[in-house]
Structure formats: structure tokens, C-alpha cells
Amino acid sequence: MSLKLNLLEEPFVFEVKNEDGATCIIDASPEIGGKNKGLRPMQLLASSLAGCASIDILLILRKQRIEPTHFSIEIETKRRDEVPAIYEEIKMIFSVNKEVNKEKLERAITLTIDKYCSVSSSLKEEIKVVFEIKLI
């Protein structure tokens, strides 16, 4: 994997691009001079966890011929108050249509977080990753 980050605009607006040309805008918080033009790095970290988990969960469900018609995740985080303000916990709240078997969904989520998701495995030693399911 190869990524390139470039400063687009002072003081902290960056673009990161992968080798396929996909881009993401990163910015700092307004409290330190950011302009709210992109996601903050810690938001990207939590989003990366949700994105990686989503891919693995949907792959597991599709192997079981389960195709959710609705799938979304709300992400709630808790950070330390001191510097560095690392995450103590990332909670993912999964909303999935009620036709999906809750036990199979829970098993897919647990397998993903504990075994398959590379981002979850990378964070596991330092950050508690928890989840909740809402069938809608």
C-alpha cells in the first residue's frame, strides 16, 4: 500500500491519495486553526474501524445469503482528557433492517471484531471496541 499526503491549504488542510487516485481531505479542529474542511485524524481512525468492520461483516452475511437492505453504523468514542488524547473506547452502533437474524448478525460482528478486522486487531491492545445492534 502506498499513500501520499499533501498540504492543500494553510494551516492544516491536507489531501491524502492512494495509488488508485482515491482521495480524502483531512483538517484539524478549529480550536487549533483548522477550517472544518475535512475529517480530523482521530475521526478517520474511528471511521477506519467502522469501514473495515463493515466490509468483513457484510462478507460474512453474504456468505450466509443474508443481504441487509439497510446497514449503517453510528460511532461513539471516549477519549482521555490528557495529552495525547487517545481513544479509550470506540462504540459502534449497528442499525440493520429487522429481517436480518440478530444472532447471525451478532456472530458476524463478534467474529469481525475479534478475528478478521485488521483495524480492530491493530487497535485491540489499547482501545476497547464495543458494539450494539439496532434492528429497524
Q: How confident is the model at residue 56 (pLDDT cuts 50, 70, 90)?
A: very high
Quote the CA–CA distance of 121 and 115 in Å, as a whole number.
7
> Homologous superfamily of 41-135 in CATH?
K homology (KH) domain (3.30.300.20)
Burial environment of residue 84 by CB neighbours within 10 A (0 to 12, 13 to 18, 19 or more): exposed
Strands (E), the chain: 3-9, 13-18, 23-26, 71-79, 87-96, 128-135
Whole-structure pTM over 0.85, yes or no?
yes
pLDDT in tens, 25-44: 999 999 999 999 999 999 99
Domain with CATH 3.30.300.20 in the chain: 41-135
Supply the pLDDT for residue 48: 97
> Letter for the amino acid at 73?
I
